[in-house]
Chains A and B, each alone.
Chain A
Amino acid sequence: MSNNNKSTGHDHVSREQENGNSRRAFFRNLGLIGATTAAGGAAIYSGYQYEQSKPNHDFVKVLTSDNRLVEVPRDQIKNIKVDHNQLTKLGREGLKGHRFVMVIDLSKCRNARKCISACQSAHHLRPHEYHINTLIMQESQNTAPYYMPKPCQHCDNPPCVAVCPVDATFKRQDGIVLIDNERCIGCRFCIAACPYSARLFHWEEPVMAESDKGKEYNIELNVPQRKGTITKCLFSSDRLREGKLPYCVSACPNGVYYFGDENQDAVTNGTSKETFRLSELLKVNGGYQLMPELGTKPRVYYLPPKNRLFEFKDERGQEKETT
């Protein structure tokens, strides 16, 4: 049985490398294998004793379930089948001890839309399916228009989660609101409830439905996407588990995004990788939240669009705007 598992495991590895899939995904898979191994006890060590006779110094980084990066010899990794339920359980629990926050500096946004494309390619979405969208905002006739990137606000009092009939959307201990598209019944109550229009529905087969067929569902990436279910911004929780910044945050060329942990009072800029104190950043720049009067308690903060780095240019083209 272990032989069988091993061979399928190797196949898996070689396929990943062949089609040049990201190395990260590979590590992640290994990491989750590691995680389940760790949960199962000292499986690695028993494997270690068993194969000690073989000298091999090829080490592989493995991410454990408590989010530590450890190295184990490559030939001693036991390729146990990824327990799908375990994976979903980890995704539902979230990362212990963290409260993730995002800060968006509106003075730096020039609607480059790199955040959007990075997000869409990571989450297998069409160009008009937005986990994050950059909106053209104008509060009133005489105030200046500005660009406003709008991800899910990951509210601490999430109206969308409150109405879900089947626990398909839920809030984790680290503040992230996720979707389980294997649970979602597609009633779209959450879309109706969200005041930020942050959610979208797969009205048709998702764009990569064919190539994603048979892939293990990753609740933290929401891939494969499924027809007839909801999807939304996940704060790239798969990346956070690895200690990396979200896709959109790292993709921004203009330093718009800061992302970090409220518990550590620190946010890191996705472009310059500089780290700042969250409280300081919000205090100095007059940070605010979107529609706080609704009582949703968003985990996304905005810095006002003053002293802007770029001229505002209306790039909507033919698209209409409703105000």
Chain B
Amino acid sequence: MASEVNTDFLHNKKLDSIAADILRPVGITQGFVVWMGFLGVSLLGCIYAYYIQFDKGLIVTGLRDYISWGMYIANFVFFVATSLVGMLISSILGLIGFKWVKPIARIAEIIAVAFAAIAGLVIVSDMGRPERLPYVFMYGRIQSPIIWDVTVVTTYMVISALLYFLPLIPDLAISKGRIGHTPKWLQSTYEILSVNWQHTPQQYKILLKAMRILLILIIPTAFAIHTVTSWLFAVTLRPGWDSTIFGPYFLTGAFVAGSAAVVIVMYFVRTNYKLEKYLTHHHFDMMGKLLVLVSIIYLYFNINEYLLPAFKMKTAEAVHIHDLFVGEYAFMFWCVQLLGLIIPIILLLFKVFRKPFSMLVISIFVLVAAWFKRYLIVVPTQDHPFLPKQFVPDAWMVYHPTVIETAITVGTLLLVIIIITILVKLFPVIPIWEMAEEQTGNDESPQD
């Protein structure tokens, strides 16, 4: 990342055309209203499901004493995982100096903010006493990984939000005069959020410095957030969870899920907003390569995680491995491994599959598999406690998620989609000033 910004682009004609392209879809369109209405009505149904759970207790879920963490926790892990992509793309790849991430970086941050923000809500939906949430801050026991998790998730969310907001400031200033077609309140929101941005070199200098601090700070925070989430499981003595590689295993898995989510949002932004000029085949190709890289690393950790217990067959581990490989969870397990990991890796090695539409299809498979993968990490381990499950009602022996539980989970996904839709639709989704600066720079100093 350059340490100084050449503000020449402000006087370049290209800025106008870039701004026009990117700002064209911004605003409240009929499609947006219908889509948000659909999401909102569906969300109401999910909120009613949560009301039932709040009233009757967690008895309305399929959870019981043996399998006491289920869909909600799996969903939480999935949300945290997906949000990590913000760090991977804008920080790691950006700091290394990959220019192609520039138009994608904001999409990655939007995903990070949306998933991290709702992850906290997912945890609340799993609590038996949600009204006691303040106790976590009043009586927090810093030995508990939950407290670490609450701390790092909050920190990560704030940093991600800032990383979304800071590069948006110049764009808001540029856009101010160019969004006459949008409602008044949106224009005044732009006015307020642009914090008096005047494109002075001093302002750019401060902005870049602040960004640089955050881009470095978010790396340990992101590592912490998912490592700590993995510790929710790894600190226990349970076979299947009692593993020392859980931190990196979760982290690499997170990059897979997040990259897939970015591709999906990229695809819809590109086609719906006619931004093919900015989200090019090259970007999809690069994202395909990134996805294949992180998937191979994740496959490597999967082999470590499953092969070693399967080789040794320690009593309790053997039951767990058996259940995953050939038992009750075998179908889900092999679907996840094949459709969500191995086949995508093979396909993405070929350039022909790194085209936008095939990338979309593959990414949907990868993302859905990523959700079920979290389910497979959370649930089967609890199915086999050390001591036998006896003298309890049949319903306690197995875990089947209920409709209410599913509705609440879907509700949290809807919230994520709502946040993504708002941020994508009402604000410039591709950094205008960075694109303009880059193109101006390319024009004026081609020898660089």
A–B interface present (Cβ within 8 A) = yes
B63 in contact with A203 (CB, 8 Å): yes
Q: Which residues of A contact B150 (CB under 8 A)?
A: 165
Q: Which residues of B contact A192 (CB under 8 A)?
A: 68-69, 232-233, 236, 238, 382
Contact partner of B396 (CB less than 8 A), chosen from A128, A204, A228, is A128
Q: Which residues of B contact A228 (CB under 8 A)?
A: 57-58, 127-129
Docked complex Cα distance between A189 and B68 (Å): 9
Q: Which residues of A contact B146 (CB under 8 A)?
A: 163, 165, 187, 189
A168 → B minimal CB distance (Å): 8
B384 in contact with A229 (CB, 8 Å): no
Which of A77-85, A133-141, A281-289, A297-305 faces chain B?
A133-141
Which residues in window 217-267 of A have CB below 8 A to B? 227-229
Q: Which residues of A contact B238 (CB under 8 A)?
A: 192, 195
B128 in contact with A185 (CB, 8 Å): yes
Docked complex Cα distance between A296 and B387 (Å): 15
A197 in contact with B387 (CB, 8 Å): yes
B128 in contact with A202 (CB, 8 Å): yes
- Known interface pairs A166-B136, A203-B64; A227-B391 also in contact (CB < 8 Å): no
Q: Which residues of A contact B132 (CB under 8 A)?
A: 166, 183-186
B393 → A minimal CB distance (Å): 6
Scan A166-194; emit 1 where CB is below 8 A from any B CB, else 0: 11000000000000000111111101110
B140 in contact with A200 (CB, 8 Å): no
- Known interface pairs A189-B232, A193-B235; A319-B390 also in contact (CB < 8 Å): yes
B388 in contact with A322 (CB, 8 Å): yes
B389 in contact with A185 (CB, 8 Å): no
Docked complex Cα distance between A150 and B391 (Å): 13
Q: Is B303 part of the contact surface with A, judged by Cβ < 8 Å?
A: no
Q: Which residues of B contact A133 (CB under 8 A)?
A: 390-391
Contact partner of A227 (CB less than 8 A), chosen from B57, B135, B233, is B57
Q: Which residues of A contact B309 (CB under 8 A)?
A: none
Q: Is B47 part of the contact surface with A, judged by Cβ < 8 Å?
A: no
- Known interface pairs A195-B385, A227-B57; A188-B237 also in contact (CB < 8 Å): no
B66 in contact with A197 (CB, 8 Å): yes
Q: Is A323 part of the contact surface with B, judged by Cβ < 8 Å?
A: yes
Which residues in window 45-60 of B have CB below 8 A to A? 56-59
Q: Is A23 part of the contact surface with B, judged by Cβ < 8 Å?
A: no
Residue of A nearest to B139 (CB): A166
Docked complex Cα distance between A132 and B145 (Å): 28
A185 in contact with B69 (CB, 8 Å): no
Docked complex Cα distance between A179 and B105 (Å): 47
Contact partner of B141 (CB less than 8 A), chosen from A150, A166, A316, A320, is A166
Residue of B nearest to A130 (CB): B391
Q: Is A162 part of the contact surface with B, judged by Cβ < 8 Å?
A: yes
Q: Is A38 part of the contact surface with B, judged by Cβ < 8 Å?
A: no
Docked complex Cα distance between A135 and B392 (Å): 11
Docked complex Cα distance between A196 and B236 (Å): 12
Contact partner of A196 (CB less than 8 A), chosen from B123, B127, B386, is B386
B387 in contact with A196 (CB, 8 Å): yes
A217 → B minimal CB distance (Å): 14
Docked complex Cα distance between A17 and B385 (Å): 45
Which residues in window 143-189 of B have CB below 8 A to A? 143-147, 150
Instruction: Name the 3 nearest CB pairs between A and B, nearest first.
Output: A186-B128, A228-B128, A165-B146
Starting from the known contacts A135-B388, A193-B235, A228-B129, 7 additional A-B residue pairs (CB-CB under 8 Å) come to A162-B143, A186-B127, A188-B68, A195-B236, A195-B238, A197-B385, A229-B129
